[in-house]
Amino acid sequence: MAALLGVVLLSALGPAAAQARPAQAEAAATGLHISDGRLLEGNGNDFVMRGVNHAHTWYPGETQSLADIKSFGANTVRVVLSDGHRWTRNGPAEVAGIIADCRTNRLICVLEVHDTTGYGEDAAAGTLDHAADYWISLKDVLAGQEDYVIVNIGNEPWGNTDPAGWTAPTTAAVQKLRGAGFAHTIMVDAPNWGQDWQGVMRANAQAVYDADTTGNLIFSIHMYSVYNSAQAVTDYLNAFVDAGLPLLIGEFGGPADQWGDPDEDTMMATAEQLGLGYLAWSWSGNTDPILDLAVDFDPSRLSSWGERVFHGANGIAQTSEEATVFGGGTPGDTQAPTAPGTPTASAVTATSATLSWTAATDNVAIAGYDVVRVNGASETSVASSTTTAVTVTGLTAETAYSFAVYARDAAGNRSARSATVGVTTDRTTPTPGVGCSVGYRVVGEWPGGFQGEITIRNTGTAVINGWNLGFSFADGQTVSNMWGGTPTQSGAEVGVAPAAYTAQIAANGSVTVGFTGTRGATNTTPTAFTLSGTACTTA
Q: How many helices (H) and strands (E) does the chain have?
A: 10, 28
Report the DSSP beta bridge partners of residue 518: 449, 478
Q: How many CA atoms lie within 13 A of 280 on its CB side?
A: 33
445 is catalytic: no
* Beta carbons of 126 and 119 less than 8 angstroms apart: yes
Q: Which backbone phi and psi does 179 adopt, to 5 degrees?
A: -65, -25
Q: Please give the Cα distance from 529 to 538 (Å, whole number).
A: 8
* Beta carbons of 402 and 389 less than 8 angstroms apart: no
Nearest to 55 by CA among 65, 45, 44, 67: 65
* Beta carbons of 355 and 403 less than 8 angstroms apart: yes
Nearest to 120 by CA among 55, 7, 198, 184: 198
Residues 6+ apart with CB under 8 A from 44: 29, 35, 331
Report the DSSP beta bridge partners of residue 368: 408
Residues 6+ apart with CB under 8 A from 47: 32, 39, 40, 41, 75, 108, 323, 324
The amino acid at residue 349 is T
Q: Please give the Cα distance from 326 to 147 (Å, whole number).
A: 10
Q: Which backbone phi and psi does 252 adopt, to 5 degrees?
A: -160, 155
Q: How many CA atoms lie within 13 A of 265 on its CB side?
A: 8
Q: Which backbone phi and psi does 335 adopt, to 5 degrees?
A: -85, 125
Identify the three-state secondary structure at position 256.
Answer: coil
Q: Which of the 8 DSSP states describes residue 359?
A: P
Q: Which helix (H) or strand (E) holds 496?
A: strand 493-498
Q: Please give the Cα distance from 89 to 96 (Å, whole number).
A: 14
Q: Please give the Cα distance from 283 to 268 (Å, whole number).
A: 17
Q: What DSSP string describes 454-470? A: EEEEE-SSS-EES--EE
Report the DSSP beta bridge partners of residue 110: 78, 150
CA max distance for the chain:
70
Asked if residue 300 has a cis previous peptide bond (ω within 30° of 0), the answer is no
How is the beta sheet containing 389-392 ordered, strand by strand?
344-346, 353-356, 389-392
Identify the three-state secondary structure at position 166.
Answer: helix
Q: Please give the Cα distance from 122 to 260 (Å, whole number).
A: 22
Catalytic residue among 41, 112, 146, 251: 251
Nearest to 279 by CA among 243, 240, 248, 245: 248
Catalytic residue among 41, 146, 156, 307: 156
398 is catalytic: no
**Residues designated catalytic:** 156, 251
